[in-house]
Chains A and B, each alone.
Chain A
Amino acid sequence: MDSLDSIDLVLTEQEIKFLKELKKRKIPFLVVGVSAAILQGAPLATQDLDIWFKKLSDPKIVKAVKKAGGAYVSTIIGMMNPPQFVGKGFEFLDIVTHPGGLDSFEKEYKHAIEIKTHGMALKVLPLDRIIKSKKEANRPKDKMALPALEATMATLRFLKKKKK
């Protein structure tokens, strides 16, 4: 089909291992943001995979990231650094702490959709909720993503109706 066919691994080895560890340890998390939209068919591009955890202070997360060869750096008072993962292969995995415009994690998790990739089922924030969150964030990059997200939403709705 195209030149990307020769690439097998899309996520880094460490990311895959980490996500599998999270699932193994039953740590609730959601894939959010543009990467979640891409998984649902949105014609967009991004660098990061954004993850929203139910409870970031869950010690099982630290164990999972360690097992995958990385480390977790929490916010340090006075430094204003966002919590993040560090280590080889973790450069593009972002932690989302307060996604704007959304309900509680529990509520969003309940309505999340499951998408299978890399041999695992990932819980993903549905498109309509991504649009809501992008509208709330309203940064230039969010505004830029909206036309493509809305087109994807309209297309999915149309195809769903047609199926019925």
Chain B
Amino acid sequence: MESIVKQVQRLKHVYTQANRVYLTNKNIDRHFIVQTIFCLQRTPNERLKHGLLRFHRSRFNRTRN
């Protein structure tokens, strides 16, 4: 588990970077920039974990075949 101090440092880093990206691309939604930077800190496997809705399968209860 990441310590609180480390979490705060990471947040600072993410938002500083997001602001820099935003300043050069003001037509882009800042929220998505922040979310992207968080995503980029994950491994591809972790990105899939967060992005694939299949873990909420019971909630969606989708069956197709």
- Seen from chain A, the residues whose Cβ lies within 8 Å of a Cβ on chain B are 1, 4, 7, 10-11, 34-35, 38-39, 41-47, 49, 86-87, 90-92, 115-118, 147-148, 150-152, 154-156, 158-159
Contacts and interface: CB of A to CB of B under 8 A. Distances in A.
Per DSSP, are chain A's interface residues mostly helix, strand or loop, or mixed? mixed
A135 B49 CA distance: 26
A38 B21 contact: no
Given A10-B49, A38-B52, A47-B52, 5 more contacts: A4-B55, A10-B48, A41-B47, A49-B52, A151-B25
Contact of B40 (A35, A47, A86, A159): A159
B27 to A, nearest CB: 9
> In the complex, which range does the number of interface residues on chain B fall in?
35 or more
A151 B51 contact: no
Given A41-B39, A86-B65, A147-B32, A116 B52 contact: no
Contact of A44 (B2, B17, B51): B51
